[in-house]
Amino acid sequence: MSEVPNRRLLIGLVAGCSLVALLCAAHVAWTFHSIGALTRAEGRIVEIEALQATVNPRATTLVPVAELVTADGETRRLRLSGSSNSPFCCEVGEAVALLYDPASPEDSVRLDHPGDLYGPQAVFGLVALGFAAVLALALRGKAR
């Protein structure tokens, strides 16, 4: 059976994982705060576009396109941003809740769904926190 790594290494790993978890929590909090400046709208997915990547011409990204009526009454077709580019997020014809910045709707429209707004950061932060806890337990066991 191999020995537990040295104490300094474990302390560094616990600190690093804790920092990652803290940064993820800060990002979730910042996202929650910044949503207050956005406008909510109901929309409908009208198309799923396949966009070719600029770095790798063989890679494509599926991006949903939503049609919505903005606060000024204008009907717009806009590509969704953020984590909503998952092919599992929505289907053509599906009604969706959206968030957008009226000053620049083309660059800001996204799904108003907790999984899209907070999901990736929350999961990554929880995994980092889990690693930190396991490493802290190993560190505590090494201290005995």
Q: What's the CATH number where 44 sits?
A: 2.40.50
Whether residue 42 sits in one domain with residue 28: no
Low-confidence ranges of the chain (pLDDT < 70): 1-5, 82-88, 142-144
Total tally of structural domains belonging to the chain:
2
β 75-79/95-100 pair status: unpaired
Q: CA 99, CA 81: separation in Å to the nearest integer?
A: 10
**Enclosing domain of residue 19:** 7-33+121-143
- Whether 103 is covered by a domain: the verdict is yes
Residue 128 is predicted with a pLDDT of 93
Q: CA 9, CA 64: separation in Å to the nearest integer?
A: 45
Q: Which residue has the tokens 């909090």?
A: 29
Q: CA 113, CA 125: separation in Å to the nearest integer?
A: 19
**39 membership: H or E segment, kind and range:** strand 39-52
> Under DSSP, is residue 44 helix (H, G, I), strand (E, B) or coil?
strand
Q: CA 128, CA 20: separation in Å to the nearest integer?
A: 6
Q: Is the separation of the CB atoms in 35 and 116 below 8 Å? A: no
Q: Enter the DSSP assignment of 3.
A: P
The whole-angstrom distance between residue 72's C-alpha and the CA centroid of its chain comes to 29
Residue 88 is predicted with a pLDDT of 58
Whether residue 75 sits in one domain with residue 27: no
Residue 3 is predicted with a pLDDT of 57
Residue 85 is predicted with a pLDDT of 47
pLDDT > 70 in the chain, percent: 90
Strand partners, 78: 66
- Whether 2 is covered by a domain: the verdict is no
- Whether 79 is covered by a domain: the verdict is yes
What is the value of pTM for the model shown?
0.69
Residue 1 is predicted with a pLDDT of 42
Whether residue 107 sits in one domain with residue 43: yes
- Whether 21 is covered by a domain: the verdict is yes
Whether residue 43 sits in one domain with residue 29: no
